[in-house]
Amino acid sequence: MLVLVDVLLRVPPLFIMDELLRIGIGLPQGDSNRYNSSSEIHDVDASITEEEVIPTISVFSDSEVQHHAQFYKVVVVTVLKYILSYLGIITALCVFLLWTKHLVIVYLYLISVGIVFVSYWTNVSTMKTVITAITVNDTASGVGTEAYTSILEDLLSLNLGRLLDPSGYGFIVIQNYALQCLLAFIFNYVHLGPRYPLVQKLLPVSFMAPSILAILPFPTSILHHAPVFAALLPLALVKFVLWCSALTMVQTVSGGYQHARNLLRNFGLSTLVETEWMRLNVPTVLRTFWLLRVMEHVASLLSNQQTHLNLLAFTTMLSIVKSVLVHGCETLTAVLGMTSIVSYICHYIGCFFQWILLTEDYDDKSIGTVSAILFYILALQTGLTGLDPEKRFVRLCRNFCLLFTALLHFVHNIVNPLLMSLSASHNPSLHRHVRALAVCSFLILFPMSLLVYLWSHHATSTWLLAVSAFSIEVIVKVVVSLMIYSLFLVDAYRSSFWEKLDDYVYYIRAFGNTVEFCFGIFLFFNGAWILIFESGGTIRAIMMCVHAYFNIWCEARAGWSVFMKRRTAVNKINSLPEASAEQLHRLDDVCAICYQEMKNAKITRCNHFFHGVCLRKWLYVQDRCPLCHDILYKVETGATKDSSSSDDATDSTMADFCHMVIWYDIDYETYLSGGQSI
């Protein structure tokens, strides 16, 4: 319940920010803006310089001067609205970030202020009704404006028919009396002012005074001013609390800033964001805000009689869903709420595939977070909030399509380690293999069906090319995983060591990485075309730079590094002598790396035998023998070293020197000049 209350208390600030963003942050929009940029340029000559302003004004007619004055007035009002709207957004954001105890204090204060104004306006409305009824009654009886039959007389005479008549002012006064009693009780309980006994006793009297005066036969002038005097005491308490809390508010904001600064300095930005994210329960707050927003919109749609009658029609339901989706992403805060819903759905999609695969990996549960980030970036990149409703719906559907293809990649990231684990560990559980292969079949068949549908129903566009690239890429990745899975299964049922297995796996993975790299380049040029010729924007340009760095440059550098390591290892292994059949027969041992029988082997300089493939994998890590830690291959050392000697030879020479200096205290120059013969 406390968590629910905390969530509900943080929703109203989001509605305030959403409303300010929906009205354009106070700026005039549409046809209501009589003084748009074109009319301004037309009405005011931009060529008038500062020196010509005063002489020019003197020749303006009165209508032109009035028109310019009205124009500057509109500009000033627009700027003030803009400033006040931004201040409102900042204030609402600060309220949203408050600790729960401070948030409760804010709401108690706002409730007390609201009670004062509700009490005042209901008293004013009641007094107007009573004064109007008295005046009409006295005018009709010809008595005058001061003599009349009061409600007190009706009470004393027990004239219940007149008192309980809903159209009579007696019933309105009694109703207002009951309402003021309730408001006085609530205000007495929630107000934050000083709770002196005298003040607590005077507050109910202050609230109910106009209703009491309306019962008694007082002049209408007193009844007219009664609501103002009745609101003085509670309003004074409210203002007193506001002035006394000014220093506390400054201290609260300053304390929050210091807390965030210390957390940022000691633990970093990620820890600060994660801590505040958990404290504020942001995903749940955003989901609640978006659902309430959508429910309000659906209620307004259902209030239409025609929509209510055709509620069961499919087209009506479809139009309601379309309207909800369009209305649910018209502002940045609404997009954030929809992002939270998308994250929630994607999280359970990931849990569903984990349930199918019988796997439980904490890292895979980040699929909801990654999907939320991707969806929000797509919304910002495509300018979703600034589009017309029809274009916004089309763009939203396209973003969902891109998001779903990205989900297929996430699912592949879940199933790929499982496939490798099942094949490499010789897992005999058949149903786990079947589940993994079923998910792989889905990851192949569904993108193919999606591509057939999209290419048959949509014209060629940059969006369609992007979806196609993502879909083909996931198909290639799944095929690569299945091929490696098959190779590992074949190797599991072989009785002898398969020396070429590592080469086959490397070639298959190199093919998949090359295809992925080519698609990355293609998507970069596709995005560049969109940026230049279709829809530019800062967000899209930034995302293209991020894509170019991480998906192109970093991938190319990593691939080239692996290729160079492999080539260097192959060259090093080729420099080692091959063991003969007689030597292997005389050794009659297994490889110390893989513990498999050796039908062929390489001999290191320290006279140890290993499989060539195993030794090559070992060289990816270090250049020393797994058994004696000696250098695996020959290096050239001496006083005059050849300029073409490798860095590895220098490192090995230095390593040997370090070993020598520990035992014999030999300096480096003596070592290079022949001291290693010791």
Residue pLDDT, tens place only, 189-198: 998 888 888 8
pLDDT over 50 at 56, yes or no: no
Domain C-terminal end among 244, 266, 301: 244
Residue 614 belongs to a domain with what CATH number? 3.30.40.10
Distance CA 423, CA 441 (A): 17
Percent of the chain scored above 90 by pLDDT? 28
CB 612 within 8 A of CB 599: no
Q: Judge if 78 and 123 occupy the same domain.
A: yes
Half-sphere exposure of 206 (CA within 13 A, CB side): 25
Note the pLDDT of residue 49: 43
CB 89 within 8 A of CB 17: yes
Candidate from 66-70, 99-103, 361-365, 447-451 with smallest mean pLDDT: 361-365
pLDDT over 90 at 442, yes or no: yes
The band of 136, judged by pLDDT with boundaries at 50, 70 and 90, is low
Distance CA 629, CA 57 (A): 94
Q: Which residue has the tokens 């600790």?
A: 99
Q: Judge if 143 and 186 occupy the same domain.
A: yes
Note the pLDDT of residue 455: 93
Please state the rounded mean pLDDT for residues 25-38: 40
Q: Judge if 337 and 427 occupy the same domain.
A: yes
The band of 544, judged by pLDDT with boundaries at 50, 70 and 90, is confident
The encoded tokens of residue 133 equal: 């009824």
Q: Is residue 64 one of the residues assigned to a domain?
A: yes
Note the pLDDT of residue 479: 95
Note the pLDDT of residue 489: 87
pLDDT over 70 at 264, yes or no: yes
Q: Judge if 238 and 207 occupy the same domain.
A: yes
Q: Judge if 454 and 475 occupy the same domain.
A: yes
CB 642 within 8 A of CB 585: no
Q: Is residue 307 one of the residues assigned to a domain?
A: no
Distance CA 264, CA 275 (A): 11
For residue 634, which of 611, 618, 653 has the smallest C-alpha distance?
653
Please state the rounded mean pLDDT for residues 398-426: 89
The band of 358, judged by pLDDT with boundaries at 50, 70 and 90, is confident
Percent of the chain scored above 70 by pLDDT? 78
Q: Is residue 174 one of the residues assigned to a domain?
A: yes
Note the pLDDT of residue 40: 38
Q: Judge if 97 and 137 occupy the same domain.
A: yes
Q: Judge if 52 and 140 occupy the same domain.
A: yes
Q: What are phi and psi of 57, to 5 degrees?
A: -60, -30
Q: Which residue has the tokens 């002489």?
A: 55
Q: Judge if 149 and 31 occupy the same domain.
A: yes
Domain C-terminal end among 244, 267, 282: 244
Higher pLDDT residue, 182 or 50?
A: 182
Q: Is residue 361 one of the residues assigned to a domain?
A: yes
Note the pLDDT of residue 139: 59
Q: Which domain holds residue 505?
A: 329-566
pLDDT over 80 at 577, yes or no: yes
Q: Judge if 441 and 515 occupy the same domain.
A: yes
pLDDT over 50 at 33, yes or no: no
Q: Judge if 551 and 598 occupy the same domain.
A: no
pLDDT over 60 at 640, yes or no: no
Total domain count, the chain: 4
The band of 289, judged by pLDDT with boundaries at 50, 70 and 90, is very high
Candidate from 38-47, 321-330, 416-425, 598-607 with smallest mean pLDDT: 38-47
Candidate from 167-171, 213-217, 352-356 with smallest mean pLDDT: 167-171
Q: Is residue 251 one of the residues assigned to a domain?
A: no
Q: Which residue has the tokens 């196609």?
A: 468
Please state the rounded mean pLDDT for residues 236-246: 89
pLDDT over 70 at 59, yes or no: no
Beta bridge pairs of residue 590 = 597
pLDDT over 70 at 498, yes or no: yes
Candidate from 153-162, 334-343, 469-478, 649-658 with smallest mean pLDDT: 649-658
Please state the rounded mean pLDDT for residues 251-267: 89
DSSP string, 461-472: -HHHHHHHHHHH
Note the pLDDT of residue 374: 92
Please state the rounded mean pLDDT for residues 471-476: 95
Write down the mean pLDDT value for the chain. 79
Distance CA 214, CA 231 (A): 16
Candidate from 463-467, 478-482, 498-502, 668-672 with smallest mean pLDDT: 668-672
Note the pLDDT of residue 149: 52
pLDDT over 80 at 639, yes or no: no
Q: Is residue 649 one of the residues assigned to a domain?
A: yes
Q: Is residue 495 one of the residues assigned to a domain?
A: yes
Note the pLDDT of residue 76: 82
pLDDT over 80 at 295, yes or no: yes
Domain C-terminal end among 196, 221, 244: 244
Note the pLDDT of residue 163: 60
User: What is the tens place of the pLDDT at every residue in 332-350?
Assistant: 999 999 999 999 999 999 9
Q: Judge if 218 and 339 occupy the same domain.
A: no
Note the pLDDT of residue 634: 52
pLDDT over 70 at 588, yes or no: yes
User: What is the tens place of the pLDDT at every residue in 504-520?
Assistant: 888 899 899 999 999 99
Q: Judge if 624 and 648 occupy the same domain.
A: no
Q: Is residue 198 one of the residues assigned to a domain?
A: yes
CB 84 within 8 A of CB 23: no
Contacts with 145 (C-beta within 8 Å, 6 or more apart), sequence order: 134, 135, 138, 139, 220
